[in-house]
Copies of this chain bind each other. A is one copy, B any other.
Amino acid sequence: MELQLTQALHRNIRHRPADIAYVDDHGRRSWAEFGNRAARLAAALASLAAAKGDRIGILALNGGIYLETMLAAWWLGSAINPVNIRWSVAEIAYSLDDCDTGILLIDESFAPLAPELRARSKALKTLIYTGPGPVPDGMLSYETLIAETPPMADTETGGESLAGVFYTGGTTGNPKGVMLTHNGLLSNTLGALLEEPFAEDETILIAAPLFHLAGACIFLRAFTRGCGTVLLPGFNAAATLRAIATERVTFTLLVPTMIQMLVDHPDLPNHDLSSLRRIMYGASPIGEGLLLRAMARLPAASFIQSYGLTETSGPFTILPARYHTPEGRTPDRLRAAGRPFWGMELRIVDPDGNPVPPGQVGEIAARGPGIMPGYWQKPEQTAAALRHGWLHSGDAGYMDEEGFLFIVDRVKDMIVSGGENVYSTEVESAISKHPDVAACAVFGIPSEKWGEAVHAVVVLKDGAEATGEAIRAHCKTLIAGYKCPGTVEFRDALPVSGAGKTLKHVLREPFWKGRDRRVG
């Protein structure tokens, strides 16, 4: 089946030309305008020697131009390379060179990085400035290109053609370019819309970054149904509240931390948020306390969890709203990431790839039309991830008898101590509840006796003075003894990635030098 990402654009231009396609900080555009600009940008990219199959990079905050660039790339038959805005210049240059991205669109927030990027990247040839104000030296102007280039005809590219290279990882080794196809992204979109339909007159708020599939997938769903999108440059609680009220937003995607900032914001009572009917959340389960507060303060909204990976073309499991209501909620179910969309299959496997019974922890594996064909020019990593037709996620979890998925840890962060599985996340959660603790990281270190022993690195709050023994004693009140850290080490800070993730492997490696640690 040959599905095309541009198909919805043609449909929206034909069926609703004057309706709003997007609203951003610079204004709003109709589907007719959006379509015309995308077709002109596609022609401009072609005139800059971009060909069918080439990668087009974009390094920008969320905005309508981001969407136009994605559609122009697809119109031209090329693939988008949406650059992680939190990366260092070295990481960005690596990703541009890795998949040979010669053209990069860049906005005013990132234009200052251009000279260094040019110096470091061999692939980068052309920079297109998408921001307002004067065009920096050596760059082309997005608006001039659009104004001066007549629109081209859609190349009607689709099916298994490459639609994007989405870089992931980077916390361990070099980032990997996840190749995603038109069919893959659209099957994810259709699967999601079966579960959580969008009516044509909905307004969808995107605060999650578009370079990430969390944001991009929400756009694709809105776009497929012809719904208008409201774009925030990034998440900000006050701006989100204003946008919901002003644009009468009906649906948004957030992570629990953002929901917390939103519902605890002092301005909340001053806004009419009655239009907001659904909040989808991901990245982690929602605590019952936060859920209750959110339901009290946003009484019109229902809550839905979703989980997925870049390698699965985005979120592909869902915990529907009915498991969040007072009637349908149980503390256990609320920790579930849900069950797979139609079209996707899920199973939990042991290190040899064999399925394990319900309740048993193993690696989460997935199969279906949304699965990536592979990592860009990384045959070994591709073969490691895609085994026997199943994608191995690197996430550890289990499924209950009814097929609900529970995520417990990253596979490589699981500790096997004395034959027992210890989930680092569970231990970290216990340690974090100690009033003196600001941050912590738990991992396994070699142990003659236990194979691995539980080790904790703890950052205390300013002025706090808890001892290792006090931390251990605290943990014993919350979790089983074998899960409690055998050793506790204090530091001033934890090493973190550009995306803010704790770099646990940096902490762990010195302990394992010269030794072999089998994972997953």
Contact of A194 with B3 at beta-carbon distance under 8 Å, contacts A15-B402, A339-B15 already known? no
The answer to whether A369 and B1 touch (CB under 8 A), given A342-B224, A402-B15, A403-B15, is yes
Comparing A6-14, A56-64, A130-138, A417-425, the segment that makes contact with chain B is: A6-14
Please report which residues of chain A, range 1-30, place their CB below 8 angstroms from some CB of chain B when the two chains form the complex: 1-3, 7-8, 10-11, 14-15
Q: Is A385 an interface residue (CB 8 A)?
A: no
Contacts of A159 in B (CB 8 A): 1
A225 interface residue per 8 A CB criterion? yes
For chain A residues 194-226, which have a beta carbon within 8 Å of chain B?
A: 194, 197, 200, 224-225
Interface membership of A356, Cβ < 8 A: no
Q: Which residue of B lies closest to A197 (CB)?
A: B197
Cβ contact of A1, chosen from B3, B10, B11, B224, cutoff 8 A: B3
Q: How far is the CB of A368 from chain B (nearest CB, A)?
A: 8
Nearest B-chain residue to A399, judged by Cβ: B14
**Given A194-B197, A369-B1, residue A8 in contact with residue B403 (CB < 8 A):** no
Q: Is A193 an interface residue (CB 8 A)?
A: yes
Q: How far is the CB of A282 from chain B (nearest CB, A)?
A: 20
In whole angstroms, how far apart are the Cα atoms of A3 and B225 in the complex?
A: 21
Most buried by B among A7, A190, A402: A190
A190 to B190: give the CA distance in the assembly, Å. Answer: 7
Q: In the complex the two chains form, what is the Cα distance from A194 to B183 in whole Å?
A: 17
For the complex, what is the distance from the CA of A145 to the CA of B265, rounded to whole Å? 65
Question: In the complex, what's the smallest C-beta–C-beta distance from A220 to chain B, in angstroms?
Answer: 12
Partner of A194, one of B14, B184, B187, B190: B190
A287 at the interface (CB under 8 A from B): no
Closest residue of chain B to A225, judged by CB?
B194
User: A339 vs B14: C-alpha distance in the bound complex, in angstroms?
Assistant: 10
| Chain B residues whose C-beta falls within 8 Å of the C-beta of A11 in the assembled complex | 340, 342
Contact A3 B197 (CB under 8 A): no
Question: A343 within 8 Å of B by Cβ?
Answer: yes
A102 to B: closest C-beta gap in Å? 30
Between A3, A200, A224, A340, the greatest number of chain B beta carbons within 10 A of the residue's beta carbon is seen for A3
B2, B7, B194, B369: which contacts A342 (Cβ < 8 A)?
B7
**C-alpha spacing A395/B259, complex, angstroms:** 53
Which B residues lie within 8 Å of A194 (CB)? 190, 193-194, 197, 224-225
Shortest Cβ distance from A8 into B: residue? B342
Q: Are B183 and A1 in contact (CB under 8 A)?
A: yes
Interface string of A52-91 (1 = CB under 8 A from B): 0000000000000000000000000000000000000000
Q: For residue A369, which residues in chain B have a CB less than 8 angstroms away from its CB? A: 1-3
Chain B residue at smallest Cβ distance from A160? B1
For window 150-207 of A, CB contacts with B under 8 Å fall at 159-160, 183-184, 187, 190, 193-194, 197, 200
Q: How far is the CB of A223 from chain B (nearest CB, A)?
A: 10
Which of B1, B14, B160, B340 is in CB contact (< 8 Å) with A187?
B1
Contacts of A2 in B (CB 8 A): 369
B residues in contact with A403, CB < 8 Å: 14-15
- Tell me the bound Cα distance from A187 to B184 in angstroms: 14
Could you say which residues of chain B place their CB within 8 Å of the CB of A7? 342-343
Return chain B residues, CB-CB under 8 Å to A343.
3, 7
Q: A365-391 toward B: CB 8 Å interface, digit per residue (1/0)?
A: 000010000000000000000000000
A193, closest chain B residue (CB) = B194
A289 to B439, CA, bound (A): 70
* Chain B residues whose C-beta falls within 8 Å of the C-beta of A15 in the assembled complex: 339, 402-403
Interfacial chain B residues near A340, Cβ < 8 Å = 11
In this complex, what residue of B is CB-closest to A187?
B1
For residue A158, give the distance in angstroms from its CB to the closest CB of chain B: 10
The 3 closest A-B pairs by CB, nearest first: A197-B197, A1-B183, A1-B369
A–B Cβ pairs within 8 angstroms, 18 of them: A1-B3, A1-B183, A1-B184, A3-B343, A7-B342, A7-B343, A8-B342, A14-B402, A15-B403, A190-B194, A193-B194, A193-B197, A194-B194, A194-B197, A194-B224, A194-B225, A197-B197, A200-B320
Query: Knowing that A15-B339, A190-B190, A193-B193 are A-B contacts, what are 11 other residue pairs whose CB atoms are under 8 Å apart, sorted by A's residue number?
Result: A1-B183, A1-B184, A1-B187, A1-B369, A3-B343, A7-B342, A8-B342, A15-B403, A200-B320, A224-B342, A225-B342
